[in-house]
Structure 1
Amino acid sequence: MVIFDCDGVLVDGERMSTALMAQEARKYGWAITDAEAHRIFTGGELAKIRDMIARESGEDLPEEWDMMMQDRIVRMMRTDAETVDGAEDMLKSVTDLGLPIRVGSNSSIAEMDAKFQSTGLNRILEKDRIHSGRDLDMPKPRPDIYLHAAGEEGIPPENCIVLEDSDPGVEAARRAGMACVLLRDRDEPSAEWPGLVRISHLSEFAPLLAHIMESQKAA
C-alpha cells in the first residue's frame, strides 16, 4: 500500500498556511519572515506552533488559537488550494499499478476536505481512506497515523511505502517501520536515514514503484 502525506505532496497549501501563521506570529511580536516560518512550522502541530509563538514573542496566545487558525486555513483552502505539480497524474498512475492508496496527514479532515474539493482530487481519493493525525490526536512525528492507516487496510507496516516531504513525516514513517520516499528539491537538505529514497518531482514516483514491484517479482 502507498500512504501519502497531504501538504507538499498532493496539495500545495503548506506555504499559504505557514505564511498565515507567520502573519499571526508577527502580530504578537515575533519578527519571523514567511520563509523562516515555512522552514520551522512545516509539518508541525498547530498547538505546538501556538506554544512556540508564545515562547518566542513573550505573549500569551488564546487557548483556542489553534482552532481559530484551523478555521482560517479551511476557509482559505476552499478557494485557494492548488495541487502539487503532477499530483493528479501521479495518483492515477499509482492506482493503475493496482496498489491501494490512503492519505495520512497532520491536517484535519475538514481542512483536507476543503483542499481535495477545491483541487478536484476528491474524485480520486475516497473519504474513508483519508486519515487525520489532528482529529485522531496522533500527530506526526508519532507513527500512529501511518500505523492506523495500515491497520485499516489490513496490511503490515513493512508492506507500506510512505510519500512525504517533511522531516516529521519521515520520522513518523521510520518509527512505523515503513519504507519512505522523500519528495524534495535536490539542493535542499534532508533527514539522515539509511535507505531513504529521494525524488524531486512527482512524475518520478510511479516509475519507482513499478521498478520495486518488478524487482520483487524477480526475487
Structure 2
Amino acid sequence: MRYELIIFDNDGVLVDSEPLSNTMLAAYLTELGHPTSYEESLRDYMGAAMHRVHDTILERSGKRLPDDFDDIFHERVFAAFERELQPMTGAMELLEQLTADGVPYCLASSGSHQRIRVGHRKTGLNKWFDEGRIFSSQDVGRGKPAPDLFLHAAARMGVAPDKCLVIEDSPLGVQAANAAGMDVYGFTAMTPAERLHAATRLFRHLSELRGLLADTTDK
C-alpha cells in the first residue's frame, strides 16, 4: 500500500521533549500532593493531552488540580525547552528528504499550538512546518487515544484516512491511529516495543524510517 500523507506526532518523534516534560510533570504533581515518579508519568501521560492528567488525578484522588495548573506547568516546560530542547536525531534529515521528494506530511500533536511553536522555534523545526501543517488537540473535542485529531488532520489535508500513515511513539497515539483507520509505525527509541505492539510495524531510528517511507509513499 502506498501512502499519500505522513502524519507525525511531535513530542518524542520530532523533538526530544518527553524526558523534559515528564520530569517537570512528575515533579509538579508530587509538589501538589500527588506523588508521581518520572516512570509513572511516562506510563500514564506520555502522548496525552492535558485533560488526561486532570481526569486521572481526579479519578485517583477525588481532588481537582488547581485552576492554574496548566499555565504553571507550561511555564516550567517552556523554560526547560528554551534551556535544553533538541530535535530528535535524524528529524531534520528526514523532513528535508520528504520535502525534496514531494511527499505530503503534517503534524498532529496532543500538545498545544503554543507548545509546538516554542519547541519548533528552539530546535529549528519551524522551517519545515507552516501553520497549515500543524494540528493540535486544541483543535478537536477529544485528544488521543480518541481518533478525532488524526481524522481532523487528514480531512484538512484532503486525504482519506486509509491513505495516511501515522508516526507515533506512545501507546495512546498508536491506539488513536488505529481507531482512525490509519496505519501507524511505532517509534521505539524511548518506548519499549511491547508497549507499541498494536502498531503496524516498529522502528528504532529515524534514519531507518527514511528507508521505510521511501518504499511506501507516492511521489
Query: TM-score, normalization: structure 1?
Result: 0.88
1:65 equivalent in structure 2: 69
State the Cα RMSD in Å.
2.2
CA distance in 2, matches of 1:59, 1:22: 17
SS in 2 for 1:134: helix
Whether 1:206 and 2:210 are equivalent positions in the alignment is yes
Question: Does the CA contact (< 8 Å) of 1:91 and 1:124 recur in 2?
Answer: yes
2:30 equivalent in structure 1: 26
Gaps of 5+ in 2: none
1:157 equivalent in structure 2: 161
Whether 1:77 and 2:88 are equivalent positions in the alignment is no
CA distance in 2, matches of 1:72, 1:117: 17
Question: Does the CA contact (< 8 Å) of 2:141 and 2:148 recur in 1?
Answer: no
CA distance in 2, matches of 1:51, 1:136: 17
1:190 equivalent in structure 2: 195
Question: Does the CA contact (< 8 Å) of 1:109 and 1:135 recur in 2?
Answer: no
Structure 1 runs of 4+ aligned residues shifted over 4 Å read 54-60
Q: C-alpha deviations, 1:2-35, integer Å up to 9, x for none?
A: 0100001000111111111111121133333222
CA distance in 1, matches of 2:19, 2:192: 18
CA distance in 2, matches of 1:180, 1:112: 21
1:4 equivalent in structure 2: 8
Question: Does the CA contact (< 8 Å) of 1:30 and 1:56 recur in 2?
Answer: no
CA distance in 2, matches of 1:162, 1:52: 26
Question: Does the CA contact (< 8 Å) of 2:154 and 2:160 recur in 1?
Answer: yes
SS in 2 for 1:177: coil
SS in 2 for 1:70: helix
Letter in 1 for 2:194: P
- Give % identity: 33
1:13 equivalent in structure 2: 17
Q: Kindly tell me: are residues 33 and 187 of structure 1, through their superposed partners in 2, closer, same or farther at Cα, counting changes over 3 Å?
A: closer
How many residue pairs were aligned?
214
Gaps of 5+ in 1: none
CA distance in 1, matches of 2:139, 2:183: 24
